[in-house]
Chains A and B, each alone.
Chain A
Amino acid sequence: MVFPRIDAYSALKSPIHSFDPRAKIISFSILIFSFAFLNDLKAATFALGFSLFLVLLSRLPLSFVLDRIKVPLVFFISILVIMAFTVEGAELFNLFGLSVSSEGVLLGTLIVLRALAALFLLLLMLGTCRFEAVLKALYMLKVPGVLVQMLMFSYRYIFVFIEEFLSMKNAMESKGFQLRGKSSYSLSILGNAVGVLLVKSYERGDRVYKAMISKGYTGNPKLFIKFNMKKSDYVLASLLISLAFCFHLYPVIL
């Protein structure tokens, strides 16, 4: 079974891949926030360029990056369209009686650029190390245990659920059911299947909890982790963080 894993290319070798997960999470998060609050179109373009440069540096295959980015991209484009038509300002051109304002287009572009830049960074943060390394890094960074455990269990069991759903789909199709049908009948069947999956997951949750109790779970699992920060990690992290600040400071300085 092949799953669409976010960490499918975590075994590649690149400066981003060898970056310590903790330092990566901290510096990339700061960069993401910095990019998200940019107000200048030029700065945002530069930010997008910079994150694209990081993507190239990471050697993640382009097809993987595009595959991951295409769904949010549809969402961003729709924001651009909505902005262009709704923000008031100087009319750029008229489309069937609806005016497109230049302010709207500029604001929409700014939002799309910022979002894309942040999204590339997020993809790099999650795609360049194994997902459990991210979890352990979050644990070490003192993110509340409940949150880390929720993430951990979601990641562990999402594959089990996919597998369970696919085997259910196979069972349905081997009895002649076609998922493509748009009739209310096939929709109701699909609804039943999803319902069964919910009940199954509820019961599995119960069994998992019992298994955890039988191994002495008390609510705060301890993880033993081997991460060593190297000199290069400190350098790269401080570089990225100062860059994040530079993006906001340069209009003040210049």
Chain B
Amino acid sequence: MKKRAISVESLNYAYPRNKKALENINIEVFEGEKVAIIGPNGAGKTTLFLHLNGTIKSPQKNVKIFGKSIGDMEIGARIREVGIVFADSDDQLFMPTVYDDIAFGPTNMGLSKEEVDKRVSYAIEKVGLKGLENRVPHHLSCGQKKKVVLATVIAMRPKILVLDEPTANLDPKSRADLIKIINELNRKEGVTIIIAMHDVNVLAELADRVYVLNRKIVANGSPREIFSDFTLLKANNLDAPDVFKLFKILSCLGYACENLPLSFDEAVNEVLNTIEREGIISLRASEQTHSAIKEIMNNYSGVWTEGYGKGN
């Protein structure tokens, strides 16, 4: 049986003089899992993350990392367990050079100079930015900054990696690089990944399980379960991946597909498999097709429905 990496039990939090930011949060993440937390803007994702590494301490001691309350741990022990990549890179690169920034965490752990050097070169190699050690952070591009931030956290070798909007504002190549790095850390080194993101089109590549957070935990399930529940998505300003929606439409046109694909790669595989199996993919419309399509469009993206059907 897998170890429980994170367990949060009935966590509440309110900012001073503000309404509640988090209400009765229950989360359980097992070692080696990849979990996404999605939700509308201002749902409390960042606040929740600040609890996970003890930056905000819950007086009830109900945030436990590998069974121990994170608030009671020494700061050195805490950063060995949980590393956080926050949304804004400039907030996290505060030292004079890239080297100093990556060395910051390991140095605070009290490691020797040699070990710190080793950690820095390991981390910078992991994110593919070898040779940039002596650069000044404000001379880096957005994508490079994000990778350096990831390196600053990787250098601490945390067992759990928490990422807040890691793919926001990145060009497609940097985004793909980042996803690859994160997945490699999970697969090769068994790092538990918790990730907050709005980009539903790449979510399936990064998460085995999804929590929907909107001050409370609204839902919890596999990406496919969550994306199938359109009422849930609508109520929380969310959306399903484009590919998923397209295959829903295709199913109205007679393309039967057992598991609707969630990402582009899955969709390509699905189509290729079908064509190999049956030799042909045929789409057809019946009397109910239009109303069925209209219903799906309605359910998933209310915005489009006005446009749809005008051509008929």
Contact = CB atoms under 8 A, between A and B. Distances in A.
Contacts of B91: 204, 207-208, 210-211
Contacts of B137: 156
A235 interface: no
Contacts of A214: 53, 55, 79, 82-84, 86
Contacts of A210: 50, 55, 86, 91
A223 B96 CA distance: 10
Contacts of B88: 204, 207
Given A156-B138, A207-B86, A215-B108, A132 B97 contact: yes
Interface string B111-149: 001001100000000000000000011100000000000
B105 interface: yes
Contacts of A217: 104, 108
Contacts of B113: 224
B75 interface: yes
B53 A155 contact: no
B95 interface: yes
Interface in B52-96: 53, 55, 75-76, 78-79, 82-84, 86, 88, 90-96
A136 interface: yes
B90 A221 contact: no
B43 interface: no
Q: What range describes how many residues of B lie at the interface?
A: 35 or more
Interface of B is mostly: helix
Interface string A150-180: 0011011101100000000000000000000
B7 interface: no
Contacts, number: 86
B290 to A, nearest CB: 44
Given A156-B96, A204-B91, A215-B152, A224 B116 contact: yes
Contacts of B152: 215
A182 interface: no
B103 interface: yes
Contacts of B78: 216
B25 interface: no
Contact of A156 (B76, B94, B116): B94
A17 to B, nearest CB: 16
A213 interface: yes
B86 A221 contact: no
Contacts of A211: 84, 86, 91-92, 94
A222 B88 CA distance: 24
Contacts of B84: 211, 214
Interface in A77-134: 130-132
Contacts of B90: 157, 160, 204
Nearest to B108: A216
Nearest to B162: A214
A208 B95 CA distance: 11
Contacts of A188: none
A196 interface: no
A135 interface: yes
Nearest to B77: A216
B219 to A, nearest CB: 28
A159 B55 CA distance: 27
A216 B152 CA distance: 12
Contacts of B100: 132, 223
A147 B117 CA distance: 26
B109 interface: yes
Contacts of A56: none
A69 interface: no
Contacts of B50: 210
Contacts of B108: 215-218, 221-222
Task: Return the 9 tightest CB-CB contacts between A and B, nearest first.
Answer: A132-B96, A216-B108, A215-B105, A207-B91, A211-B92, A216-B79, A159-B138, A222-B107, A214-B84
22 contacts: A130-B136, A132-B100, A135-B96, A152-B94, A156-B96, A210-B86, A211-B86, A211-B91, A212-B104, A213-B75, A214-B79, A214-B84, A215-B105, A215-B152, A215-B156, A216-B75, A216-B109, A218-B75, A221-B95, A221-B107, A222-B107, A223-B100
Given A213-B55, A214-B79, A224-B103, 13 more contacts: A3-B138, A132-B136, A135-B96, A155-B96, A204-B88, A214-B55, A215-B108, A217-B104, A221-B107, A221-B108, A223-B100, A224-B107, A224-B116
Interface of B: 50, 53, 55, 75-76, 78-79, 82-84, 86, 88, 90-97, 100, 103-105, 107-109, 113, 116-117, 136-138, 152-153, 156
